[in-house]
Amino acid sequence: MKGKGIGENNLINVIKDSKRISIFNLENPTIFEDYYLFTHSGVSKRSLSLNSENRAKLAVDTRVRWSKQQTAKKRVKRDLRLQDSDPKWPSMWYLNRGNGLDMNVIPAWLEGITGKGAVVTILDDGLEKDHPDLVQNYDPLASYDVNSHDSDPSPRYDMIDSNRHGTRCAGEVAATSNNSVCALGVAHGAQVGGVRMLDGDVTDAVEARSLSLNPQHIDIYSASWGPDDDGKTVDGPGELATRAFIEGVTKGRNGKGSIFVWASGNGGRDHDNCNCDGYTNSIYSLSISSATEHGHVPWYSEACSSTLASTYSSGAVGERQVVTTDLRYSCTSSHTGTSASAPLAAGICALALEANPNLTWRDMQHIVVRTARPENLIAPDWQTNGVGRNVSHSFGYGLMDAYAMVQLSRNWITVPEQHKCEITAPHVQRPIPAKSVVVLQLQVKECEGVEVLEHVQAKLTIYSQRRGDLNIQLTSPMGTRVTLLAHRAHDTSRVGFSHWPFMSVHSWGETPFGTWQLEIHNDGRLLGRATLQNWSLVLYGTKQFLPPLSNNNIETNKVNKTKTNNIFKKKNSKKQKNKNLQKVTTTKPPKSQYKLKLKNTTPKISVPNVTNSKNRKIAKTTTEFSPYFYAINTSKYKNSEDSVKQYLKFVKNITITYPVMIPSREMSKPRESFKKSQKQKEKSRDINSNRNAKVFTSKTTELTTYQTTTSSPRGRLANVTAWDLTLYGTATPPAADLKQETVHQPSIVDIYPEEIDDNSIQDASANSLKFGAEVKKDTSGCLKTNGQLCLGCPENLFLHKGRCIKSCPDGFYHLTLRRERPSEAEDLSPENNTNRCLPCHYTCKKCTGPVDYQCSECFPDAQLVLVSSTETFCYSASVASSIVADKWYIRVFVMLLIVSVLLVLHLLWQIFKSRKRPRGGYLRFNLINNSDEKDVKMAVYSDSE
């Protein structure tokens, strides 16, 4: 209520004197000057009537300028809730935890991306196709029974449900959502099939037939099996299966290539290494490892350099496991191992394929590398490779991020043609004595077609008295050091390796030119000699980097305009240098997909239909909503105009109910650098008068800038003739940032900013996608650097992760590569003749060498156990006590055995002596006394005489 400047008390008195309204005032009725809030004593708080009589009395009073009855309004909190009737949805922690602690699938679902149009098949022991949570998404064209040679992939039932594996994996991918049954799949809109091939004799032909099933229809093959994970097997695909891989990536999906997702293996307890598994070690497969609920390395996980990324799975006792479908139409919350990780990765790849069905098999690997998140994953071997990405043998490049992959896939440009070159090393017949290391260097000066690395293979032929004693490491020219083969305690084979291709993805994006260094450690005992017969380096990659703007302009989740414009200017300034970046020599897309358009044309609202051979639309906007989250009261849209009308009615027609709360995500990390902005301005322009202006597309404005002319519901044309853009900012950066500005020379990070993604262990922001990040230089005290990292250090310092430090941290030990004998030093260049910090065995906190019996200090949950004067192990506290007890029992037993043996020997000796001594013999003296003479006579009697 507003009075005419008469004040609160006077207004109250006027109203009371007029006897028109019975009111009482609140403790603080003043809202603004001359605006007051009063409560009517005769009106109930939840009155349903309008009280028009009282309002009329105030309206005719000339002393009251304005009055209005206050009504209660509905206001809701804008946190996100999702409706799902699946009973196990709250238990699916790896999908709904938020805060960067899940695989970030929910933002993709909210944009309508559920895997529609993608086809995934599970190569396993069968699929329960009529399971109520799978029957809706079951695809018979993606299914076959190789064991029984029929089209029904149903598993063979037994008393212990031994053939449940395939059904469990399929539920992780495409279990139906919101059907009140069990759980939901990562790609619950995708089609899923099953191949029954493990419930019988698995031959090379069986594998080849399974891997090549209907490759023009199936997009993704998910496999959670491989050779025995016993820590002593070295095996891989045969000739037919290898041919199936090659045929799949070259001809599958109409030339785009089949996508093979593989579990890295469960042999961690037996110290197995997945580089001895030819399936995960293949360049054609996307190798996936596991992370526990708390971000640790699982006890079953195998560490190797071929692992590309990870997803969540089971862990130690007390950590939750994976929820999925099970045999006999049931549900389980105890799916475990890397078997559970690979299907989750396959489902995430299906989401990316819905966003862009034109992705090739190599595109998918590039996208995984760029979007994987290493934060919140704990491993002792994280390192930064030559292009600034963090990578680990246990987790690859980090945890797969579904939403980031979808965002990056939308406008992804097909990567250039893959090239291969093989360099044969001159080192042959090199002996490797026991307890020694051989260091070999290979100089790469040219590699036709390969200037940017993807996969790196070291093909070795080694004869060894005990294969498990070998430890092989490879260092790239940019300083990235990988373990190709770790010590395998159970591998006692004398076969060695014959042209075995040890593969690494840790040098992804690096240059191949320079000195590659191969180190072979022989930890054998006594006569455990080994011989390197020959080796070669096989490099896979492309001739050029991808165009910087083409793939980053779609990363609009956390992108700011200033950075985008700066990158565009850098690209123009280096146009001559990077002119060859536009040349794509294989699966070449139309130029309109990757060439930047500088000329503005009048945009239209109709979304362009980009299709592939299967006529599947690339998801450009969110106008097609997922039925999982939304219920729109219309049928499918017939044309773009109906689509626009329906979108405008969206607010009225949508029905959303969200009983499950999604935890709020962390705010994105504030920008670390501020750019100067212009003074605050407001500009209004005629859209049609600015045709020649430069246009920088943005997904956030994609929906509203397609068209400026459309028909209104009444048939008349509605034209948008002008619009305002208001910019707020400051003329200079904040004072605190001025102190942090540094000047540095342009590096690979500045020239190719797309090569540096959101890949930081320290950055815990879940969904941020950044590029052009500045790499911190720390090259003080270096003898030689590559501009960002140290490559050589003085004698009193140690090289560790590109820095020179005084002492190695926990988990690393000192190693000096200097050799006194010329024969051992002939392969070392001066810059590599330096002290280094090398990783200990993962069980050791401190150590004197790389193997598990060289521990000098253990983690708090382990105990140092001395086996011999030269062998000390770290065992968990629960195991160590039993080991000590067993050792005590063994010692007591040995001592008793020795005493018993001595007693037996003593008894035998006594028996032997008794048989040699005269029996019953004696000396008898006869003394003959005579008065005149004394005669002494002696007689000897013996029983033997």
Domains of the chain: residue spans and CATH: 2-66 (no CATH), 112-410 (3.40.50.200), 419-542 (2.60.120.260), 784-857 (2.10.220)
Distance of CA 127 to the CA centre of its chain: 27
- 941 pLDDT tier (thresholds 50, 70, 90): very low
* Nearest alpha-carbon partner for 351 in 188, 554, 115, 184: 115
Length of the chain: 945
Higher pLDDT, 701 or 174: 174
User: Tell me, what's the pLDDT at 143?
Assistant: 98
Residue-averaged pLDDT of the chain: 76
Contact (Cβ atoms closer than 8 angstroms) between residue 432 and residue 466: no
Q: Is the pLDDT of residue 817 over 50?
A: yes
* Nearest alpha-carbon partner for 469 in 441, 502, 436, 501: 436
As a whole number of angstroms, the distance between CA 668 and CA 764 comes to 9
Q: Residue 804: phi, psi to the nearest 5?
A: -100, 120
Question: Mean pLDDT throughout 750-762?
Answer: 42
In single-letter form, the type of residue at position 683 comes to K
Count of C-beta atoms within a 10 Å radius of residue 576: 6
Higher pLDDT, 14 or 144: 144
- 51 pLDDT tier (thresholds 50, 70, 90): confident
* Nearest alpha-carbon partner for 246 in 277, 280, 284, 203: 284
Higher pLDDT, 46 or 868: 868
- 193 pLDDT tier (thresholds 50, 70, 90): very high
Question: Mean pLDDT throughout 914-938?
Answer: 51
**Per-residue pLDDT tens for 215-249?**
999 999 999 999 999 999 999 999 999 999 999 99
DSSP secondary structure, 895-931, as one string: HHHHHHHHHHHHHHHHHHHHHHSPSS-EEEEEEEE-S
Among the listed residues 131, 165, 335, 521, the single catalytic one is 165
Question: Mean pLDDT throughout 668-678?
Answer: 36
User: Tell me, what's the pLDDT at 917?
Assistant: 64
Which tokens sit at 352? 């990316």
Higher pLDDT, 85 or 191: 191
Most confident of 48-52, 273-277, 876-880: 273-277
Most confident of 539-548, 742-751, 911-920: 539-548
- 368 pLDDT tier (thresholds 50, 70, 90): very high
- 834 pLDDT tier (thresholds 50, 70, 90): confident
522-539 residues labelled b (16+ CB within 10 A) or e (exposed): bbbeeebbbbbbbbbbbb
HSE on the CB side for 226, CA within 13 Å?
35
Q: Is the pLDDT of residue 760 over 50?
A: no
- 886 pLDDT tier (thresholds 50, 70, 90): low
User: Tell me, what's the pLDDT at 9?
Assistant: 64
Q: Residue ranges of the alpha helices (H) in 635-778? A: 640-648, 650-653, 735-738, 748-751
Three-state DSSP state, 584: coil
**Per-residue pLDDT tens for 781-812?**
787 777 677 888 888 888 888 888 888 998 89
Question: Mean pLDDT throughout 573-595?
Answer: 37
Higher pLDDT, 780 or 667: 780
Question: Mean pLDDT throughout 670-693?
Answer: 36
Question: Mean pLDDT throughout 74-90?
Answer: 72
Higher pLDDT, 314 or 45: 314
User: Tell me, what's the pLDDT at 893?
Assistant: 86
- 732 pLDDT tier (thresholds 50, 70, 90): low
Question: Mean pLDDT throughout 680-706?
Answer: 37
**Would you say the C-alpha torsion 88, 89, 90, 93 has a positive or negative sign?**
positive
Q: Residue 9: phi, psi to the nearest 5?
A: -65, -40
Question: Mean pLDDT throughout 503-516?
Answer: 97
Which residues, in sequence order, are CB contacts of 365 under 8 Å at separation 6+? 286, 308, 454
Q: Is the pLDDT of residue 680 over 50?
A: no
HSE on the CB side for 843, CA within 13 Å?
21
Q: Is the pLDDT of residue 700 over 80?
A: no
**Per-residue pLDDT tens for 635-658?**
333 444 454 444 444 433 333 333
Question: Mean pLDDT throughout 122-147?
Answer: 97
Most confident of 189-198, 630-639, 700-709: 189-198
Q: Is the pLDDT of residue 463 over 80?
A: yes
Q: Is the pLDDT of residue 933 over 90?
A: no
Q: Is the pLDDT of residue 408 over 90?
A: yes
Higher pLDDT, 663 or 281: 281
User: Tell me, what's the pLDDT at 7?
Assistant: 60
Note if 124 is an active site residue.
yes
Contact (Cβ atoms closer than 8 angstroms) between residue 411 and residue 380: no
HSE on the CB side for 205, CA within 13 Å?
5
Higher pLDDT, 383 or 831: 383
**Per-residue pLDDT tens for 837-877?**
888 888 888 998 888 888 999 888 788 888 777 888 888 76
Q: Is the pLDDT of residue 377 over 70?
A: yes
User: Tell me, what's the pLDDT at 77?
Assistant: 63
As a whole number of angstroms, the distance between CA 600 and CA 721 comes to 16
User: Tell me, what's the pLDDT at 24?
Assistant: 53
User: Tell me, what's the pLDDT at 168?
Assistant: 97
Question: Mean pLDDT throughout 124-144?
Answer: 97
User: Tell me, what's the pLDDT at 398?
Assistant: 98
Among the listed residues 86, 124, 145, 363, the single catalytic one is 124
User: Tell me, what's the pLDDT at 40?
Assistant: 73
Q: Is the pLDDT of residue 744 over 70?
A: no
**Per-residue pLDDT tens for 4-17?**
555 666 666 655 55
User: Tell me, what's the pLDDT at 126?
Assistant: 97
Looking up tokens 């000396």 gives: 923
* Nearest alpha-carbon partner for 810 in 838, 844, 845: 845
Among the listed residues 314, 339, 504, 626, the single catalytic one is 339
Q: Residue 13: phi, psi to the nearest 5?
A: -65, -40
Q: Is the pLDDT of residue 523 over 70?
A: yes
Note if 536 is an active site residue.
no
Is 0.85 surpassed by the pTM of this model? no
As a whole number of angstroms, the distance between CA 383 and CA 305 comes to 12
Q: What is the DSSP-derived secondary structure letter of residue 19?
A: T
DSSP secondary structure, 368-425, as one string: HHHH-B-TT---TT-EE-TTS-EEBTTTBT-B--HHHHHHHHHTPPPPPPPEEEEEE-
Higher pLDDT, 568 or 14: 14
User: Tell me, what's the pLDDT at 918?
Assistant: 61
User: Tell me, what's the pLDDT at 26?
Assistant: 52
Question: Mean pLDDT throughout 31-37?
Answer: 76
Higher pLDDT, 13 or 391: 391
Which tokens sit at 811? 């988990």
Higher pLDDT, 85 or 228: 228
Q: Is the pLDDT of residue 291 over 60?
A: yes
User: Tell me, what's the pLDDT at 734?
Assistant: 62
Higher pLDDT, 811 or 883: 811
As a whole number of angstroms, the distance between CA 44 and CA 836 comes to 81
Note if 224 is an active site residue.
no
